[in-house]
């Protein structure tokens, strides 16, 4: 049954990744946050984790180690009519590239779908084994 735990850890990690990407996309134009500055892009860092207690098998799942702020520089645009423009007319915008975020979302979705398929294949194999055991 540990195979289900492996798939479950991956599904949870990819769900967090997709939520983080969605937050980045939603805040692509946010020039003010609670801390006062523009929104800073977030990224998810994964790490492996053991999923079983058996010494003879080494199955590893994945978990989110942390959500970190991207170190890319913020974007500065000239827009003197913007309410958050400085005295020279420049606005500091988030360091988010929406196209890059869409690609990241597609990759996270594909990884999520692959783990759903792995889970379903494993479930099908267990069901087939139970059917064979009844014969």
CA distance 90 to 82: 8
100 pLDDT band, cuts 50/70/90, is very high
Q: How many other C-beta atoms lie within 10 A of the C-beta of residue 16?
A: 16
73 pLDDT band, cuts 50/70/90, is very high
CA distance 24 to 96: 7
**Which tokens belong to 62?**
């994945």
28 phi and psi, to 5 degrees? -60, -20
What's the pLDDT at 55? 64
The pTM score is 0.85
SS3 97: coil
| pLDDT tens, residue by residue, 3-60 | 888 999 999 999 999 999 999 999 999 999 998 899 999 999 999 998 876 666 788 8
């Amino acid at each position: 049954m540990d195979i289900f735990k492996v798939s479950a850890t991956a599904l949870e990690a990819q769900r967090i990744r997709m939520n983080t990407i969605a937050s980045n996309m939603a805040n692509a134009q946010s020039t003010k946050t609670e801390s006062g500055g523009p929104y800073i892009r977030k990224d998810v860092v994964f790490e492996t984790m053991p999923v079983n207690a058996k010494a003879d098998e080494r199955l590893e799942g994945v978990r989110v180690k942390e959500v970190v702020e991207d170190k890319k520089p913020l974007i500065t645009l000239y827009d003197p009519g913007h309410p958050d423009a400085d005295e020279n007319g420049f606005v500091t915008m988030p360091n988010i590239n929406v196209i890059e975020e869409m690609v990241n979302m597609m990759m996270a979705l594909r990884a999520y779908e692959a783990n759903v398929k792995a889970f379903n294949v494993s479930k099908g194999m267990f069901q087939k084994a139970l059917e064979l055991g009844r014969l």
